[in-house]
Every structure is written in structure tokens, then in C-alpha cells.
Chain A
Amino acid sequence: MATITLDKLTKRFGRTEVIHGIDLAIADGEFVVFVGPSGCGKSTTLRMIAGLEEVSGGQIRIGDRVVNELDPKSRNIAMVFQNYAIYPHMTVRQNIGIGLYTSKLDKDEKARRVEEAAKLLGLEPFLERRPAALSGGQRQRVAMGRAMVRDPVAFLFDEPLSNLDAQLRAQMRIEIKALHQRLGSTIAYVTHDQVEAMTMADRIVVMRDGHILQQGRPMDIYSNPVDVFTARFIGTPSMNILAGGIEGDAPVARKGGPILLGVRPQDLLIGSAAGQVADTSGLTLWGPVTAVEPTGPETLVHFDVDGETVIGTAPGDEIPEVGARIEARAPAGAIHRFDASTKKALEPS
């Protein structure tokens, strides 16, 4: 196992700089998730760590060693790709075994390791099958098996769950997390799915346009986003952002107000739940309902406030009529404040 350190890491494609000198230290055994929209540079960063992309500037260190100019194979890290990259003409056993291709272990030891990895991943019954005869989740496990047998110092995952359906994705999230707990290995994981980031990461790194916007434990980022982008990117549905101001003690939504008020749909309560918010210094909004999404345990209510759509939450058994005028309340502690021009958080809310 090892640490991975990025020091003013830069990447240019021709004249276009896509990664603008990022700094990051991944601790030994840490599970770090890079998250951000398409084109934010997260995959490029991962590929530079892997050695599949050249580094244009700065340094990558694995342990104490600078690896900028090292071949991928000399870095002793393993990578799991989005399309699995398992070979259709090889059996599961051969696919996992190719991870040990350059290893100097003797034949029996190699076979033992392949068996061990297969056992850990529940692939034993499929060892002689070709990938075509496997389900998406099983293929994903084969790719993980190939990464594991080599006993690498770190694992890199590049959107490994994107090709799976929602149910399988949820299951694989748990499996990868459990695997990390068991192996204790350093993991850098790239995804555009904030749910994956929230559920799996020890630390989330939010990226946008080649910069790191924020990094921290999932709940820290969720509770204290540093800017509007992060606030809206993490958490689902996205945080409501409204222009407003402070009147007396209480935040008030007002068009053209000097600050931006952020409130998560889960904190903006409607119907009988709103009554529980006794706090008068909180935020109160009124408007006609435009759409309702009953999800079972709760109902997401879309309503209109001065031409802006806002999402609030009503209890599951209360489904307001579309067009009905409702009142929504959020406690003061749940209101995030951002500067209207810089979009940065004004103070830890």
C-alpha cells in the first residue's frame, strides 16, 4: 500500500490546459472519490496517475517515488475501466491471470492467487467461462479480480459502475466498499455520480474545469459546500438557490437580493411537516404547486416562487394538488448563504 501525492499537477492537450496545477495527497489506505461533471478533468487526472497520459507539469508521487516518467507497469497500480476491458477471447481464469503476466511467481502460486481472487469475488463457478456468458456485474468483478491478483499498491477505478443498471450499481457500490474495508488498499475512484461519491468515499474531491473546488469527508461537503456549484452538485435533488437578503434576523427570498440563499429540498418542509419548524428566524416561502413526485417515504413538491421553481418535501401521505398554494419552511440552521457575484459561500452555515 502507498500514498499518492499530486503536486501542482498540470495537463495540456496541445495549447489547451485542462488540468490547472492541482494539489492532492491521498493517504495510505484511503478511498478517495473524484467527482464532477463531464469534462472536469477527473478521468484525465486518474489516467495521469495510471501512466496512461503524460504529465505536462508538476509531479505525481506514489509513496516516495516520483513516477512522472515511469511506464504504467512500473508503477505497480491496477486500474478498473468503465467498459471493464476484459478480453472476450479469454476465459475468466485467463482474464484474471493476465494480471500476473509479468509476475515472477511460480505457476502454482499464480493459480492459487487467481483462485483466491475468484473466491473473494464469488467468481469460482465461472472460472472457465468466457466474458460473453457473464452478466454485467460479473464482468465488472472479473476486471476487479484482474486488478487484485497483482497485489498493487493502489487501485484506480474509472467510472466502473456506469454501464450497470441502477439496482446492480447499488449492489456493486456496497461490494467495492466492502472490498476496500477488507483489503485496506489505497483507492482513487472517478465518477460523475454524486451518490457513489457520497456512499463510498472516505474523502470526496469535487472537480470542475480542471480545478479542485473542494475536498473533504462526504458529510462535510454536504453540510458545508464552499460554493454554489458544489452545493448543487452534491445531494439529490439539487439544493434550491434563491436570490434574497437578511431582514432582521431572518433570511428572506427576494428577487435581485444581495445574496444567494441555498436550501436543500429535504430541509424545506411542506404541509404538516412545516408545522414542526417552530423557528421564526428560518426561511418561509409561498407559491403554487407546479408538480409533485411521490417517492413513497416522502413527496417532492415543486412549486413556483417569483418565477423560480423550488423543490420542497412533504410527508409521503400528503400529496398537494397541482395549482394549490402552499407554504414551505426551513429552519435557520439549514440555510446556506452565498455571495451573489462570486457564488462562494459567505460563512460556514
Chain B
Amino acid sequence: MTHPTDHDTVPTRPLISQPRMSMRMRSNLWVWCFLAIPLVFYVVIRFYPTFNAFWLSLTDWDLMSDAEFIGFENYRDMFADDDFWKTFWNTFEYLIYGTPTSLVIAFVIAYYLDKVRFAHNFLRALYFMPYITTAAAMAWVWRWFYQPAPTGLINGVLGEVGIGQIEFLKSTTWALPSIMVTAIWAGLGFQIIIFMAGLRAIPDTYYEAARMDGLGEWAILRKITLPLLKPTMVFLVVFISIAFLRIFDQVYNMTTNDPGGPLGSTKPLVLMIYQTAFSSYDMGQAAAQTVVLFTILLVVSLLQLWVLRERT
């Protein structure tokens, strides 16, 4: 092959024409094209209603008439209402007992499941199953478990061993823990998978080196596994906390006849908001409750991130 020379008859012009936009601009254009869809969605469907809720909480809107500005009256009413405080503390009970219990159980299962080779995938799928099951369906199954004998499985077993019947969902003492157990069980699958991914990410040589240095199982767990799982834990603590603060499905489905349990003993904030908005149609009041929930979520999440922050 010969190289083109000055005498070639082919007109000499650059083979590739210079693009109009710089490479940086072109790639930015693409990025924004793809980002536009979720961005528009979030702004219209999520952010706008969120900010609107702040405004609504200062009005007396009831769906029918126009919203009228009433200042902080909704908040004053809410804070003076005993039912609100009952619901407020219920929500924190779910959070305070539910989060650490979930975390410990999920970790223990993940820790041992990680060591099991026999039927590993089957067991993992079994634990994950509740997570992909509809909350309503699960809640109804558990609801049956909690019935009095002979319908209720648990009371049936208690009866067999000679222990008195427990009125799980009808007792002001037991209703909340009973629902919490269901909620914990429903979330475990996801948390176990996350913990296992965290455990898998720790190189085997860390454990081998520790064994050579003579650390026992307990010391390895305390000195190596747990500290290295910290990012996983931070994520899960925040994730589980938000889930418990927003608990609704289980409560709504397990105490349908009397949503919120006997004397409101199981009612969380979200259920209260739902009832205020869609039973009482008091949108202003519901918006005020939403703002309170939003504030709690924000404060709790920020607090956890701060407490569990990486210290250097």
C-alpha cells in the first residue's frame, strides 16, 4: 500500500468533521437526558406534595371548601390531644424495641447462615420469602395465628402445654408486641441479605490472620467482624428505623375491625394520619401530623448518622 502524496487526485480534507459541541458538553447532555425523567417525576409527584403539606398544615382544608389559613391552630389542637400523644409513644415503642431486636436477630441469623454450606441457597431463600410476600397477606396469616384456640395456632399450642389463653390482638398489653413480632419477621429477610453481603465483603485472610495470631471466635467477632460491618449496620439501623416509624400495613390489616387496636394501643402515627385524612377528611390536621412525622424521621436519621459516624 502506498501513502497518499501531494499528487493524489483525492481531495485532501479532514476525514472526521469537527463536532459542534465539546466532548464534555455532549456527555453532560446525555447525563441530563437520562436524569430528566426521574427528576421531573420526583419534583411533581414527591417534592411538590411534600412542600405543599407544610402549607396545608397551616390551613383548615377539608377537601370540600377552599383552604383557609389558620396559623398554628392545627398544631395547638394536636399537641393538646391525648390520642396524639398515645400514638406518638406507640410509634416510638415500635422504633425503640423493633430496631435493635431486628438488628440482633438478623445479624445472628446472617452470621450463622454464612457459615452453613448445606442447603445454603434454600435456607437463604426461605428467610427472604417473607420480604417478597404482600404485607396484607402476611398480616392476615399472623392474625389467624393470634386467634383464640382452636383457630389460633399459638393459643392452641399454649393450651396443649397447659398455659392459659392470651388475647394477643385484643389485649391492650399484648397487641402492640404481637404486631411488632410480625413486622420484625417481615423485615428480616432483607436485613439478613444485607448483613450477609457485608460479611462476604470481609476478606477471608483477615480471619486467617486473626486465627494465626490466636484470637478466639468471640474476639474475632468483637475486634474484626463487627467493626468492619459498621457501614452495613449504619445503613440497616437507619433503614429499619424509618420502616418502624412508618409502620402501617401490619397494624391496619391485623386490627381491621378496630384499626389501631383496643383503645388505640397499637396505633402508629401513619395510621392516625390516614384516619384523620380519609375518615375525618380533616386534611389540615392530617398535614400537621405529617409534618410532625417528617420531623421525627429527619431528626432520628440525622441523630443515628451522627452517633454512628466514622471517627477518624
Contact = CB atoms under 8 A, between A and B. Distances in A.
Contact of A85 (B205, B227, B230): B205
A86 B212 CA distance: 13
Interface string B207-223: 01111111100010001
A158 B120 CA distance: 31
Nearest to B215: A101
A130 B206 CA distance: 16
Interface residues of B, number: 18
A72 interface: yes
Interface in B243-280: none
Contact of B213 (A73, A83, A88): A73
Contacts of A79: 208-209, 212
Nearest to A156: B212
Contact of A83 (B203, B210, B228, B312): B203
A52 to B, nearest CB: 5
A50 B214 CA distance: 12
Nearest to B211: A72
Contact of A89 (B205, B214, B227): B227
Contact of B214 (A83, A86, A101): A101
A98 B208 CA distance: 13
Which of B205, B214, B223, B312 gathers most chain A CB within 10 Å? B214
A73 B312 contact: no
A225 B205 CA distance: 35
Nearest to B207: A85
Interface residues of A, number: 24
B138 to A, nearest CB: 38
Q: For A86, A98, A99, A130, which residue has the most chain B Cβ atoms within 10 angstroms?
A: A98
Nearest to B224: A87
A71 interface: yes
Contacts of B228: 87-89
A102 interface: yes
Given A81-B205, A83-B203, A52 B211 contact: yes
9 contacts: A50-B212, A52-B208, A78-B213, A83-B203, A83-B205, A85-B205, A87-B223, A89-B227, A98-B223
Interface of A: 50-52, 71-73, 77-79, 81-83, 85-89, 98-99, 101-102, 130, 146, 150
Given A87-B224, A87-B227, 7 more contacts: A52-B208, A73-B214, A81-B208, A81-B209, A85-B209, A98-B223, A101-B214
